[in-house]
């Protein structure tokens, strides 16, 4: 049976280690206390720092970047570390902004990470929408990622990225056998945009998991920022995986072995 090691660094940032590969999601390593502008009159204060520093994380082979234009997914320290990463996978407009070595993927586009001493990792971009219908024109594009490799018995590892629950996101369950989902939550809202949500809530995550039926759910992106409005629900650590699956609210900084 195949497995990987999951280490939640904080916010959306996690380290995935499998068969010699070290894959980092959404690098955020700035210290807490600063307020960041997100555009259109929105902003958020970082309230907690990472459990591990860039130096403690060490070298990584690739970064999976949901989007580059909000500091809760790519802050200054995270942006600085990209220069030393061989592969950065993100949205098409994000890759244009970042430049090499960033590679932009459209929804359902596939790329493969290869190394002479390791098994190939297949990465498929999955759809996402960072807010209500029409939000992309104002908020910008986001993406998720499905990871598959030889030896998986229970299905792909899916990193949802920052998204609300849409019909396109639900269709991931139809196109991908998901064994493990790294689930971005937080129920993001801002005073200037009222009740509009920009990421999934705990209830949205539970609903999505009913359709995915994953073996393991790993919630992230639910603590450490003032615009995460569903943090109280996340702190209750509810069960999100149906029918014998398990939800692991990983302690930041503590490695967790996940069977896949």
pLDDT in tens, 222-247: 999 999 999 878 878 999 999 889 99
Six-digit token string for 198: 């920009």
Where helices occur in 30-108 by DSSP H, the ranges are: 54-57, 76-81, 92-98
The answer, as to whether pTM is greater than 0.95, is: yes
For the purposes of burial, counting CB atoms within 10 Å of the CB of 153, is it exposed (0-12), middle (13-18) or buried (19 or more)? exposed
pLDDT (tens digit per residue) in 94-140: 999 999 999 999 999 999 999 999 999 999 999 999 999 987 877 89
As beta bridge partners, residue 62 has: 23, 87
Helix (H) or strand (E) holding 203: helix 202-212
Q: Mean pLDDT for the chain? A: 96
The dihedral region occupied by 11, where left means phi > 0, alpha psi between -120 and 50, and beta the remainder, is left
């Amino acid at each position: 049976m195949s497995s990987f090691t999951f280490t939640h660094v904080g916010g959306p940032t996690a380290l995935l280690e499998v068969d010699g590969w070290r894959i980092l999601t959404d690098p955020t390593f700035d210290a807490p206390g600063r307020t960041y502008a997100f555009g259109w009159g929105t902003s958020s204060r970082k309230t907690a720092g990472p459990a591990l520093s860039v130096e403690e994380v060490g070298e990584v082979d690739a970064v999976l970047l949901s989007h580059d234009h909000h500091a809760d997914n790519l802050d200054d320290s995270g942006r600085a570390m990209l220069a030393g990463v061989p592969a950065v996978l993100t949205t098409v407009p994000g890759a244009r902004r970042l430049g090499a070595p960033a590679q932009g993927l459209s929804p359902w586009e596939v790329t493969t990470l290869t190394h002479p001493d390791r098994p190939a990792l297949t990465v498929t971009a999955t759809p996402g929408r960072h807010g209500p219908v029409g939000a992309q024109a104002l908020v910008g594009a986001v993406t998720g990622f499905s990871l598959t490799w030889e030896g998986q018995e229970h299905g792909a590892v899916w990193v949802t990225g920052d998204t609300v629950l849409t019909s396109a996101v639900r269709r991931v369950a139809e196109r991908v056998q998901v064994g493990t989902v790294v689930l971005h939550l937080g129920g993001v809202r801002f005073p200037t945009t009222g009740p509009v949500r920009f990421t999934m809530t705990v209830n949205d995550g539970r609903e999505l998991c009913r359709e995915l039926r994953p073996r393991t759910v790993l919630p992230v992106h639910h603590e450490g920022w003032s615009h995460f409005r569903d943090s109280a629900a996340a702190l209750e650590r509810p069960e999100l995986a149906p029918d014998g699956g398990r939800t692991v609210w990983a302690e930041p900084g503590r490695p967790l072995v996940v069977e896949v």
